[in-house]
A and B are shown apart, each in its own frame.
Chain A
Amino acid sequence: MAVLTELIWTLTKIIAIVVPVILSVAYLTYAERRVIGAIQSRNGPNRVGPMGLLQPFADVFKLLFKEVILPANANRFLFLVAPLLSLMPALAAWAVIPFSEGLVLSDINAGLLYVLAMTSLGVYGVIIAGWAANSKYSMLGAMRSAAQIVSYEIAMGFALVGVLMAAGTLNMSGIVQAQAGGLFHWFWLPLLPLFVVYWISGVAETNRAPFDVAEGESEIVAGFHVEYSGVAFAVFFLAEYANMILISGLAVIMFLGGWYSPFHGMPLLGPLFDWVPGIVWFVLKIFLFLYLYLAFRATFPRYRYDQIMRLGWKVLIPVTVVWLVVVALLILAGLPPWFN
């Protein structure tokens, strides 16, 4: 009996995480169109519901009522499993994300390792989708996407090693707690090059502009999911946007002090904002990064594929390796307030 209540309680908590994530995805698509619209001096969607606020639901229901095409030569089982494989890691990684002090579903020791493992799993969804569809465009798009994701994962992994050195733990809450004490105690300052590398890799990992060659709609149709239609396509879409939010959340946890207020521990300003719950800061900081995603898409031209690979291997990896050595020396020297 106790086991059963425990199980139901855990499931409730999972639902309490998944539903807001899905709703955020829905409104991220809306925000994307509105923000890019505003940047290009036009209105985004503003007809469905007040200010277009029902637009995401209209989109979802439209996609639900569309036909899911199973191409004749496709491997049917893999074709249908691929979207699940890309959605699952994007959602399951949220299990270890601390939203506030102690507000985490599962406070495991190897938190960061788990998140990395989950984000790596996403690449299976891409490559299986491209292969199973049995279409040349899918196949080429999948190869490109997979090679790109895998390349930027290296740079991202190196950047995370820097965070680990600074925090001295893999536990997500522990990483945030190591940054206690206001804006200038967060890791973005001592790890600035790694922060920049992490963010660029994050944008490339999620296949977003300016690194979206794999699905460059004006060049090669839609990359690995050309053959997907209706709700199967919607699941890929959901996974991509959930991944964007996840990458933003990780950036906040590792470099921008997670749930801590930027004025924490400062005279005057600190006590003034003490009443704000940690989760509010966490969400506000995530908004900052999500806005950056949208602004990048609206302002940067697309990279060429060879430029993407050159940036990943020849710029970001050397930068991180050099900065890892610098951070290691700073830690051995015991530079306050970050390392002591």
Chain B
Amino acid sequence: MVENYLPILLFVIVGLGMGAVLLAAGFILGPSRPNDEKLSPYECGFEAFEDSRMKFDVRYYLVAILFIIFDLEIAFLFPWAIVLDEIGLFGFASMAVFIAILLIGFLYEWKKGALEWE
């Protein structure tokens, strides 16, 4: 079964190579006449005020944390979904408890307003 992953590795390499070849072709075929104005960051024609690596909204951080939690939940759901036929009602009930606990967390976030973007 593992040897089935060799074509995938090759495919990944081909994918990266493809992009690299395109970029290289662009650098070879295209002109290169840089000047200060051309290389300055785009800010609608104005000079850039400050560095762009600035503070950002905490909500992006919240979304990222929620994503990690829910992605983990999905990771737990995958094996359960595949063997659902074999584990029957007991397996279903155990997962129902797990999802219920996560849903309480989800409701808490919802009520707290972690999902609001105004």
Contacts and interface: CB of A to CB of B under 8 A. Distances in A.
B118 A306 contact: yes
A231 B52 contact: no
3 smallest CB-CB distances across A and B, nearest first, come from A231-B26, A306-B117, A88-B15
Nearest to B38: A69
Contact of B74 (A71, A158, A306): A158
Contact of B8 (A66, A92, A305, A317): A92
A309 B19 contact: no
Interface in A121-137: 131, 133-137
A235 B19 contact: yes
A145 to B, nearest CB: 11
A10 B78 CA distance: 30
Interface string A129-162: 0010111111100010011001101100110011
A23 interface: no
A113 B92 CA distance: 22
B82 A169 contact: yes
A136 B71 contact: no
Contacts, number: 212
B60 A231 contact: no
B88 A332 contact: yes
A88 B14 CA distance: 8
A18 B64 contact: no
Interface of A: 7, 10-11, 13-15, 17-18, 63-73, 80, 83-84, 87-92, 94-96, 105-109, 113-114, 131, 133-139, 143, 146-147, 150-151, 153-154, 157-158, 161-162, 164-165, 168-170, 221, 226-227, 230-232, 234-235, 238, 305-306, 309-310, 313-314, 317, 321, 324-325, 328-329, 331-332
Nearest to A7: B10
Given A10-B7, A231-B23, A321-B103, 4 more contacts: A106-B7, A143-B57, A154-B71, A313-B110
B108 interface: no
Interface in B1-56: 1, 4-8, 10-12, 14-16, 18-20, 22-23, 25-27, 29-34, 36, 38-43, 48, 51-54, 56
A125 B77 CA distance: 27
12 contacts: A15-B14, A71-B41, A87-B15, A89-B15, A136-B48, A153-B67, A153-B71, A157-B70, A158-B74, A161-B78, A164-B82, A310-B117
Nearest to A305: B117
A69 B1 contact: no
B42 A221 contact: yes
Nearest to B76: A161
Contacts of B84: 165, 168, 328, 331-332
Given A221-B42, A314-B115, A332-B89, A92 B78 contact: no
Given A67-B30, A71-B41, A231-B25, A107 B14 contact: no
A309 B54 CA distance: 23
A94 B110 CA distance: 37
B78 A170 contact: yes
A8 B96 CA distance: 49
